[in-house]
Structure 1
Amino acid sequence: MKNILITGGAGFIGSNFVRYLYNKYPDYRLIVLDALTYAGSVQNLPENGFSSERFEFWYGNVMNADLVDALVGKADIVFHFAAESHVTRSIFDNRLFFETDVLGTQVVSNAVLRNRERIELFVHISTSEVYGTAVGEVMDEDHPLNPMSPYAAAKCGADRLVYSYWQTYNIPAVIIRPFNNFGPYQHLEKVIPRFITSAIIGEPMTVHGDGSARRDFLFVDDHCEALDRVLHSDKQSVIGQVINLGTKRDVSVLEIAEILKSIMGEAHCDVEFVGNRPGQVFRHTCDASKAESLLGWRPSTSFEDGLRKTVDWYVANREWWEHQRWMRHIPIVTADGKRELH
């Protein structure tokens, strides 16, 4: 039996991974820590989890060193998802991002260090946002780190902090840099669920700038499969590594809107343009060669198929997202000095 601690396990990617493990590995014991901020909910967790002896939920913050140390002390493996994660919100209110993403990661890393005789693997979930805009055709793990928003800077600090702990203290850390994830249970502040729910309720899809910014979008189930392979890999082959997860294909924001029109129907999908977001990254395209060579992993879900699955989920689960409607837009000052809702 493995005892696995998942911080941020009630958020979007974390909860998808918790459900994945819960359903696939009945002999594993899962410990979830989450502060249940606006982007996390116990509704995201396994349906029968709270009545199961192999599932344990703790309501708490990664800044609570005593709690984190106690939970890490019960685990064999740690997956660290807990973070503030929305670029636009980091422009609106950035202090919390540095507290949670950097100092929270320091707390978790220190707990892993104190329990290093027990911990087999510490998987830190970073982000491709640490790279900034692509300087070449694709972005491998050696791409320069040029964070372009407070969120990206905070995640970059956390990323390098974990790396420094591996170098200094030899903790069993691996750093995962996923490109843009999408799928069920994602908060409406993110572009794909915001577009989908706008179409459902008959509002226009708001596009930043001219919609030409391009991202590599990874369906969340494929991300979970990759983390499963990290979990069950030869530990010495991944410890100390930074590993990108992506599809090697980039899609523009305007193309997402056009694909959704074809899936949901032209009549439901008007597009409205707003000012460009400050700190905008203009292109991300993943080189996932290391994930393929180390883990034998390739994403199996095309962007179009993942988008159809995501549309179907939001159509079928309106009661899950209806209360979030007021949080879909955030007031910011744009690069042109205008006040807009993004």
Structure 2
Amino acid sequence: MSQELLITGGAGFIASNFIRHLLKNTTNRITNIDALTYAGNQENMNGFAESENYRFFHGDISQTETLDSVFDRTYDVIINFAAESHVDRSIENAKRFIETNINGTHALLGKVLEGKAGKMIQVSTDEVYGSLNELDAAFTEQHCLSPNNPYSASKAGADLLVRSFFETYKLPLIITRCSNNYGPYQHPEKFVPKIIYNALNNKKIPLYGDGLNIRDWLYVEDHCRAIYMIMNNGKSGEIYNIGGNYEKTNIELIRTILNYLGKGDDLISYVSDRKGHDRRYAIDSTKVKKQLGWEPNVSFDVGIKQTIDWYINNEKWISNALSRSELS
């Protein structure tokens, strides 16, 4: 049975991949709203409008008039991907992160409270949990929130708003928290595409600190499948962690990409560590695996090669994304 879905931030990296997944595998009717900031790429939505089940609104979810125009119908599900997500930018200026990540989420919750949506999925991040030491057990859904930078604090604030609306109003709300995503259509300011782009162009690859910070890597298509399963079968009021179960230090990741491209370590440039730089993230996905039967399908070795090849074959996309970033 087809559903009426509202996807926020649908021109971004993960959300555009999610829409692509929906258009390929379902007959759901999709409304996409995106503010088209530098990270919201018009090219990410190429081909979407060809589907009669898709429509697009250009606007900011934190703006009442814009949001009202989108709610000309009642949605079965809102999937809230809309977010400012680059840590370095949040350290420079947190204002936009508060406006989108917290105020925007609050505006959407208001629409659910009005009865304009049957359910809402809040797409969050493992960064809200803070940092782990090397031998610590991976984050579970029971871990306390302990964000260490303005970006993760804004996402934690949004998560707490969602939780409060569930507890106070008993609304059908679910939170997902994922590990670091990689794959096609990710903005080149992010770690994986920046490594690829710089290596392809023989530019220095900046590496914070000692390069031993650890991240758990999740291929974006696996993340999209998990969200779809949670959207259909998840339980209201629950939190679901989604991880790739593939931890790598930053220096290991860089060398993996350099080796695939036939480049050497001479491109690596160690730079001063950034403020609020978490040492390690690791996600325990036991809950979503046991309750919903999700497993990552794409191994890191396969996913990273597919990702590198995509960027090699889409140089124009990268150039356009970098141009928009410079103008923001």
Distance 1:327 1:93, change over 3 A: farther
- Aligned pairs for 1:101-250 (under 5 A) are 101-115=101-115, 119-134=117-132, 136-233=136-233, 237-250=234-247
Mapped pair 1:274 → 2:251: no
Q: Which residue does the alignment assign to 2:95?
A: 95
Give the paired residue count: 322
Partner deviation per Cα, 1:300-334 (whole Å, 9 max, x = no partner): 111221110100000000000113346889xxxxx
> Is this contact kept in 2: 1:127–1:177, CA < 8 A?
yes
Q: Secondary structure at the match of 2:113?
A: helix
Report the Cα distance in structure 1 between the residues aligned to 2:239 and 2:34, rounded to whole angstroms. 25
Residue of structure 1 equivalent to 2:63: 64
Aligned to 1:262: 259
Amino acid at match of 2:183: G
One-letter amino acid of the counterpart of residue 71, structure 1: V
Q: Structure 2 CA distance, aligned partners of 1:34 and 1:156?
A: 21
Residue 32 of structure 1 aligns with an amino acid whose one-letter code is: N
What's the CA shift string for 1:118-164, capped at 9, x where partnerless? Answer: x3321000111101102622110111211000001000000110111
Shift of 1:261: 1.9
Residue 46 of structure 1 and its aligned partner are, at CA, apart by: 4.6
User: CA shift at 1:82, angstroms?
Assistant: 0.5
Percent of counterpart pairs with the same letter? Answer: 37
TM-score under structure 2 length normalisation: 0.94
CA shift for structure 1 position 249: 2.9
1:6 corresponds to which residue? 7
Aligned to 1:316: 313
Q: Distance in 2 between matches of 1:298 and 1:51?
A: 31
Runs (4+) of structure 1 moved beyond 4 Å? 326-329
Which runs of 5 or more residues in structure 2 are unaligned? Answer: none
Shift of 1:267: 4.5
Task: Answer yes or no: is the 8 Å Cα contact 1:85–1:151 preserved in 2.
Answer: yes
Assess if the C-alpha contact under 8 Å between 1:219 and 1:301 holds in 2: yes
TM-score by length of 1: 0.90
Report the Cα offset of residue 252 of structure 1: 0.7
1 CA distance for matches of 2:204 and 2:152? Answer: 28
Structure 1 unaligned segments of length 5 or more: list them.
330-342
Q: Secondary structure at the match of 1:123?
A: strand
Q: More displaced, 134-143 or 52-61?
A: 134-143
Query: Does structure 2 conserve the Cα–Cα contact (< 8 Å) formed by 1:259 and 1:304?
Result: no
